């Protein structure tokens, strides 16, 4: 969509008002999860179905500026954004998952050809006439990679969920060290950000103070209406009482990265799992 000239402060909808976001100061983790997820769902719908649902998306953008706080809802295990999320984010592979084999390699997907061909060769080696030739050696090398490498190569969205083998005969100390090392390598390879600790009130206060929800709502309103909203105008709209800092830089360096991270699938599903954990402990 081609965007028009930059929006001026006076062009912002009259329904937008910062005081409507004051409730964020007392948000629980469940409130943050629900409100961030609603923004992410709306953004994903726009990314995938903008042309088909443009009128509904414009109404949603206006409605969110009018009533930006989504009411609390009961969270349940199995809810999720991209996948089912549970209180514990380490779970056993089920017998069904093992026997059904998880993801399949579509016959018409060219990206999976190398893995399909390699498996055909190895199946022959194991259940037919074993040749132990160069073709078999190459096939073994192709398949001797983490399953998540293959799934990532062929474009399957794993939503951060991978299966790993754990040797329970090892000591606790050794297992913890090995897991931390594996976690670093795997997240880096899959380009998944590392959340080092549980979310705390300090995180929520930072989101509230930096007007994360208001930023997401104004940005979405401008985008879905084909308008260009500069960082300077965003800065003035979100921080009208601040004059001693470079507002455009604050939006670019702090607010935008913070808001986009908080509304990402990684954060949303981590928030949900922690909220389920905290609810269980009450």
203 and 264 co-located in one domain: yes
210 falls within a domain:
yes
- Do residues 57 and 110 both lie within one domain? no
The tens digit of pLDDT for each residue in 124-175 reads 888 877 778 888 888 888 888 888 888 888 888 888 888 888 889 999 999 9
In the prediction, which pLDDT does 104 show? Answer: 61
Q: How confident is the model at residue 35 (pLDDT cuts 50, 70, 90)?
A: very high
Average pLDDT, the chain: 89
Tell me if 239 is assigned to some domain.
yes
Asked if pLDDT for residue 109 goes beyond 90, the answer is no
Burial class (CB in 10 A: 0-12, 13-18, 19+), 173: exposed
Asked which of 127, 153, 170 is the last residue of a domain, the reply is: 170
Considering the domain architecture, whether residues 52 and 100 belong to the same structural domain is answered as no
Kindly state whether residue 185 falls inside one of the protein's structural domains.
no
Does residue 180 lie within any of the structural domains?
no
Q: How far apart are CA 144 and CA 116, in angstroms?
A: 13
Write out pLDDT tens, residues 230-259. Answer: 999 999 999 998 876 799 999 999 999 999
| Beta-bridge partners for 228 | 6
79/13 same-domain check: yes
Structurally, how many domains does the chain consist of?
Answer: 2
202 plus 264 within the same structural domain: yes
pLDDT of residue 121: 85
The pLDDT score that the predictor gives to residue 62 is 96
Same domain, 129 and 254: no
- DSSP states of the chain as a string? ----SBPPGGGS-TT--GGGGGGGGG--HHHHHHHHHHHHHHHHHHHHHTTTSHHHHHHHHHHHHHS--PPP----TT--SSS---SSS--PPPHHHHHHTSS---TT-GGGHHHHHHHHHHHHHHHS-----HHHHHHHHHHSS-HHHHHHHTT---TT-------TTS-HHHHHHHHHHHHHHHHHHHTPPP--S---HHHHHHHHHTTHHHHHHHHHHHHHTT-B--HHHHHHHH-TT--SS-HHHHIIIIIHHHHHHHTSHHHHHHHHHHHHHHHHH-
Instruction: Report if residue 156 sits inside a domain.
Output: yes
Condensed to tens digits (0 to 9), the pLDDT of residues 162-213 reads 888 888 999 999 999 999 999 999 999 999 988 889 999 999 999 999 999 9
The band of 78, judged by pLDDT with boundaries at 50, 70 and 90, is confident
Q: Do 211 and 275 have their domain in common?
A: yes
Looking at 154, 170, 186, the residue that finishes a domain is 170
- In a domain, residue 178? The reply is no
> pLDDT > 70: what percent of the chain?
94
Q: What does pTM read for this prediction?
A: 0.82
Which residue from 147, 65, 74 is spatially nearest to 104, judged by alpha carbons? 147
Is 149 inside a domain boundary?
yes
Q: Does residue 165 sit in the same domain as residue 241?
A: no
| 69 and 21 together in one domain | yes
Both 64 and 117 in one domain: the answer is: no
Domain presence at residue 111: yes
Confidence band for 72, pLDDT divided at 50, 70 and 90 = confident
Q: Residue 155 sits in which domain range?
A: 95-170
Specify the pLDDT at position 107.
57
- So what's the pLDDT on residue 229? 93
């Amino acid at each position: 969509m081609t965007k028009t000239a930059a929006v001026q402060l006076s062009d912002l909808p009259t329904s937008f008002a910062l005081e409507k976001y004051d409730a964020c100061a007392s948000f629980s983790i469940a409130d943050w999860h629900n409100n961030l997820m609603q923004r992410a769902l709306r953004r994903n719908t726009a990314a995938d179905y903008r042309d088909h649902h443009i009128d509904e998306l414009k109404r949603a953008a206006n409605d969110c500026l009018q009533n930006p706080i989504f009411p609390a809802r009961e969270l349940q295990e199995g809810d999720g954004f991209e996948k089912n999320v549970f209180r514990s984010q380490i779970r056993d592979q089920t017998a069904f998952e093992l026997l059904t084999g998880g993801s399949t390699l579509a016959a018409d997907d060219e990206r999976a050809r190398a893995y399909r061909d390699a498996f055909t060769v190895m199946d022959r080696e194991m259940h037919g006439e074993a040749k132990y030739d160069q073709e078999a050696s190459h096939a073994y090398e192709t398949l001797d990679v983490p399953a998540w490498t293959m799934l990532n190569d062929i474009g399957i969205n794993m939503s951060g969920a991978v299966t790993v083998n754990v040797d329970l005969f090892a000591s606790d100390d050794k297992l913890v060290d090995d897991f931390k090392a594996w976690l670093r390598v795997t997240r880096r390879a899959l380009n998944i950000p590392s959340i080092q600790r549980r979310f705390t009130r300090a995180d929520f206060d930072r989101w509230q103070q930096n007007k994360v929800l208001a930023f997401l709502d104004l940005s979405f309103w401008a985008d879905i209406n084909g308008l260009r909203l500069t960082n300077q105008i965003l800065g003035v709209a979100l921080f009208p009482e601040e004059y001693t800092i470079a507002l455009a830089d604050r939006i670019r360096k702090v607010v935008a990265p913070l808001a986009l991270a908080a509304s990402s699938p990684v954060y949303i599903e981590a928030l949900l799992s922690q909220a389920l954990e905290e609810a269980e402990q009450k």
